[in-house]
Amino acid sequence: MPFGYAGRILHVNLTTGKIEVEEPPESFYRMTMGGSGMAMHYLLRMVPAHADPLGPDNVLVLSVGVMTGAPISGQSRVMANAKSPLTGAIGDAQGGGFWPAEFRSAGFDAIVITGQSPRPVYLWVHDGEAELRDAAHLWGGVTGETEAALREELGDKKIEVLQIGPAGEKLSRMACIINMSNRACGRTGMGAVMGSKKLKAVAVRGHGSVELADKEKLRELARWGADNLEESGVWSFRLHGTAGGINGLQATGALPTRNWSSGVFEGWQKIWGQTMTETILKERDTCYGCVVRCKRVVETTGPFATDPRYGGPEYETIATTGSYCGIDDLEAISKANEICNKYGLDTISCGATVAFAMDCYEQGILTKEDTGGIDLHFGNAAAMVQMVEMIARREGLGDLLAEGSYRAAQKIGKGAEDLVVTGKKQEFPAHEPRAKRSLALIYAVNPFGADHMSHEHDPAYAPTSDPTTLAQLSQLGLNNPQHAWDLSEEKVRYALTTEYIYSALDCLGTCQFVWGPTWQLYNLDQLVEAVQAITGWRTSIYELMLVGARRLNMMRAFNAREGLRAADDYMPKKLQLPAVGGPTDGVSVKEEDFLAARAKYYQLAGWDQEGVPTASKLAELNLEWVADLLAD
Chain segment 9-45, per-residue pLDDT in tens: 999 999 999 999 999 999 999 999 999 999 999 999 9
pLDDT at site 161: 98
> Is a pLDDT exceeding 70 seen at residue 182?
yes
Question: What are the pLDDT digits (tens) for 387-409?
Answer: 999 999 999 999 999 999 999 99
Model confidence band, residue 1 (pLDDT cutoffs 50, 70, 90): low
- Please write down the HEC assignment for all residues of 445-467: HCCCCCCCCCCCCHHHHCCCCCH
CATH number of the structural domain spanning residue 143: 3.60.9.10
Q: Specify whether 342 is located in the same domain as 461.
A: no
Cross-strand partners of 19: 12
Question: What are the pLDDT digits (tens) for 422-443?
Answer: 999 999 999 999 999 999 999 9
pLDDT at site 519: 65
CATH number of the structural domain spanning residue 494: 1.10.599.10
State whether residue 173 is helix, strand or coil: coil
Out of 205, 228, 251, pick the residue that ends a domain. 205
- What is the DSSP-derived secondary structure letter of residue 568? G
**Which of 196, 19, 176, 152 has its CA nearest to residue 97?**
176
Residue 201 contacts residue 122 (beta carbons within 8 Å): yes
pLDDT at site 517: 81
- Cα 253 from chain centroid (whole Å): 24
Helix (H) or strand (E) holding 205: strand 199-205
pLDDT at site 388: 98
Exposure string of 279-306, with b = 16+ CB inside 10 Å and e = fewer, is: ebbeebbbbbbbbbbbbbbbebeeebeb
> Is a pLDDT exceeding 70 seen at residue 210?
yes
The answer to whether position 535 is within a domain reads yes
Residue 430 contacts residue 258 (beta carbons within 8 Å): no
Q: Specify whether 503 is located in the same domain as 394.
A: no
Q: Specify whether 583 is located in the same domain as 617.
A: yes
The answer to whether position 256 is within a domain reads yes
Q: Specify whether 333 is located in the same domain as 463.
A: no
State the average pLDDT for the chain: 97
Query: Which stretches of 488-614 are DSSP H helices?
Result: 489-508, 512-515, 524-535, 541-561, 591-605
> Is a pLDDT exceeding 90 seen at residue 568?
yes
Out of 420, 449, 466, pick the residue that ends a domain. 420
CB atoms within 10 A of CB 395: 14
Out of 178, 205, 232, pick the residue that ends a domain. 205
Q: Specify whether 383 is located in the same domain as 446.
A: no
CA–CA gap between residue 79 and residue 112 (Å, rounded): 12
Question: What are the pLDDT digits (tens) for 296-334?
Answer: 999 999 999 999 999 999 999 999 999 999 999 999 999
Q: Specify whether 466 is located in the same domain as 572.
A: yes
Query: Given phi > 0 = left and psi -120 to 50 = alpha, else beta, which region is 503?
Result: alpha
Question: What are the pLDDT digits (tens) for 264-301?
Answer: 999 999 999 999 999 999 999 999 999 999 999 999 99
Query: What is the number of structural domains in the chain?
Result: 3
Q: Specify whether 383 is located in the same domain as 449.
A: no
> Is a pLDDT exceeding 70 seen at residue 206?
yes
Query: Which stretches of 373-425 are DSSP H helices?
Result: 381-393, 397-401, 405-412
Domain that holds residue 143: 9-205
The answer to whether position 235 is within a domain reads no
Average pLDDT over residues 403-419: 98
Q: Specify whether 393 is located in the same domain as 286.
A: yes
CATH number of the structural domain spanning residue 306: 1.10.569.10
Q: Specify whether 352 is located in the same domain as 482.
A: no
Residue 358 contacts residue 331 (beta carbons within 8 Å): no
Q: Specify whether 475 is located in the same domain as 509.
A: yes
The answer to whether position 229 is within a domain reads no
Q: Specify whether 395 is located in the same domain as 446.
A: no
User: Could you give the C-alpha distances from 186 to 18, 55, 175, 204, in angstroms and in order?
Assistant: 28, 20, 8, 20
The answer to whether position 150 is within a domain reads yes
> Is a pLDDT exceeding 70 seen at residue 232?
yes
Residue 200 contacts residue 146 (beta carbons within 8 Å): yes
pLDDT at site 233: 87
Average pLDDT over residues 338-348: 98
**Which of 304, 260, 517 has its CA nearest to residue 313?**
304
Average pLDDT over residues 136-150: 98
First to last CA, the chain: 38
Question: What are the pLDDT digits (tens) for 448-459?
Answer: 999 999 999 999
Q: Specify whether 461 is located in the same domain as 350.
A: no
The answer to whether position 230 is within a domain reads no
The answer to whether position 345 is within a domain reads yes
Question: What are the pLDDT digits (tens) for 600-623?
Answer: 999 999 999 999 999 999 999 999
Model confidence band, residue 484 (pLDDT cutoffs 50, 70, 90): confident
The answer to whether position 173 is within a domain reads yes
CA–CA gap between residue 333 and residue 339 (Å, rounded): 10
CA–CA gap between residue 338 and residue 75 (Å, rounded): 25
Average pLDDT over residues 74-96: 98
